[in-house]
Amino acid sequence: MFPDINGIETPAFASLQQHAETWKTQHMRALFDQDPTRFDRFSFHQEGMLVDFSKHMITDETLTLLTDLAASCQLKEAMDALFSGEPVNRTENRAVLHTALRDQSDRMVVVDGEDVKPAIRQVLEKMRLFCNEIHAGIRTGADGRSYTDVVNIGIGGSDLGPAMVCEALKPFHKKGIRVHFVSNVDATHLVECVQDLDPATTLFIIASKTFTTQETMTNARSAKQWFLESGMQEEDIARHFVAVSTALQEAQAFGIDPDNIFGFWDWVGGRFSLWSAIGLSIMLAIGADGFDSLLNGAYAVDEHVRTAPLNKNIPVIMGLLGWWYNQFFEARTHAVLPYDQYLEKFPAYLQQADMESNGKRIDRRGKEVSYPTGPVVWGAPGTNGQHAFYQLIHQGTQLIPCDFIVPARSQNPLGDHHAILLSHCLAQSEAMMKGKTAEEVREELEHSGMTEEEIQFQLPYRVFPGNIPSTTIIVPECNAFQLGQLIALYEHKIFVQGVLWNVFSFDQWGVELGKKLAAKILPEISGRKEPSGHDGSTIGLIKEVLRLRS
């Protein structure tokens, strides 16, 4: 049974609340000065990856109390329920089994009395065959030429994960094939993408779990139209359009050859679906073996999560730390700062994974929560962010925990670029943790020969309080295996936090209202129906658009 306990009801909560008070006067700097083993004790290795938690506002006592809290929330039991296929997505009455998609063990995973793993293997095999044939030039476009471009049409989980992974693994792409992603219903996205493509060497993947998502279906229809208007024939569609969906009949009704439909299952959540056939674009980009490595990296983390004790469990600690800052330090946002240009899309991917999961206000008992839940997740690659928003992290008034992610080796070794990048990454986490005291500022200013009067004016502006917590994740290089690990770490972190907050992390009812209202506004804004039944602002805006378009 999935537990139903939230963190604030556990015995550890009161102790943590008291313990949090000690951090009003404690500084991480002092803890590092007192304890030369702090880095070793609070950092963890996992299959080549190092995760350093030592620059967090924690002591041994903090970690013990936090893991006590997790244990009281029956986190281990919740994980077992997740891994074993219990319907943990209660409001949709579904299991949540992205872990089964990458499970390399012999264990069965049973849903509704049936082991799901043979079907997973079957689809993977079908994907592998399809991609291998394309890479080998055996499967070609209608005129016999090899495909040069793949366009994935999807949105949300059917776009962000594959787009992020394809970008992150660009150095590992197969030669001769380019992968593009079209998600926005703004026609600009599709038009800009296809304008330089040759339809005879382009393969469209229509990726939609439901095959009803308005944006995706609109883009898919327009892509088909572009294809036919560019001189291709109806009978060519079978060789140029494939689908990835749980809705096989809808995909077929769209005109996709049943042999070209890659299925998956309702127990794969959209934002956790890149490991399923939704990853077809990834496999086309990096090959079947590369996709296997991605799955293997995630599986390694799944095994770690399943077996490591709570106080050595990396995603559990990540989740607990987020909970700690959110609950006691009013940290309402979390910055993800990859120092790797290839990970540019990682923060955007995580936004959906995290915010669609834990952006919830009703607990698992149907009651409104009395505590903060999911934070705003945001970020951009370093060093760019340093010249944009880091000022607020260093000297603003809110506490923003940060994750620094950096590969030790660059895929593009060029002069001292990577050493500079690394130096900035490590310097930022050091600066956030240490800050700069008034004494240090004074000494610096005195040394520069500044007058006492000017020093007194300048000094407060140049002090950094520090004590800003950060996790640093170092990977040897950003390859498929390490990326699989990285993504899985965050997926599990999100799950852990959902348990601590006692919310259902796997539904997303909040996105429905806007969709319904848009359906009502569409005929009104198209001039087919008189606007009615809206608030004054919305009516006014509709009328202004109608006026400007008339």
Closer residue to ligand F6P in complex, CB, 208/429: 208
Positions marked active-site = 356, 387, 515
Cis peptide before 383 (omega within 30 of 0): yes
CA 371 – CA 348 distance, rounded (Å): 25
Closer residue to ligand F6P in complex, CB, 513/548: 513
Residues lying near ligand F6P in the complex (CB under 6 A): 155-158, 208-210, 213, 216, 270-271, 356, 508, 511
Maximum CA extent, the chain: 83
What does DSSP say about strands 49-52 and 43-46: parallel, antiparallel, or unpaired? Answer: antiparallel
- Quick check: 278 and 158 in contact, CB under 8 A? yes
Give min distance, CB of 182 to ligand F6P, in A: 13
Give min distance, CB of 185 to ligand F6P, in A: 12
What does DSSP say about strands 376-378 and 241-245: parallel, antiparallel, or unpaired? Answer: unpaired
CA 69 – CA 76 distance, rounded (Å): 12
Closer residue to ligand F6P in complex, CB, 15/210: 210
- Quick check: 276 and 81 in contact, CB under 8 A? no
- What are the distances in angstroms from CA 106 to CA 61, 64, 83? 39, 34, 14
Closer residue to ligand F6P in complex, CB, 246/502: 246
Give min distance, CB of 215 to ligand F6P, in A: 8
Closer residue to ligand F6P in complex, CB, 68/356: 356
Beta bridge partners of 181: 152
Closer residue to ligand F6P in complex, CB, 156/531: 156
Angle among Cα 427, 431, 320 to the nearest 5 degrees reads: 100
CA 4 – CA 501 distance, rounded (Å): 10
Give min distance, CB of 504 to ligand F6P, in A: 14
Give min distance, CB of 278 to ligand F6P, in A: 8
Residue 44 gets which letter from DSSP? E
265: left (phi > 0), else alpha (psi -120 to 50), else beta? Answer: beta
- What are the distances in angstroms from CA 326 to CA 70, 133, 152, 320, 497? 15, 49, 37, 10, 11
Question: Tokens standing for 244?
Answer: 């990835």
- Which residue blocks in 109-260 are alpha helix, DSSP H? 117-135, 160-168, 187-194, 214-229, 237-240, 248-253
Residue 172 gets which letter from DSSP? G
Give min distance, CB of 279 to ligand F6P, in A: 13
Closer residue to ligand F6P in complex, CB, 226/264: 264
Give min distance, CB of 529 to ligand F6P, in A: 25
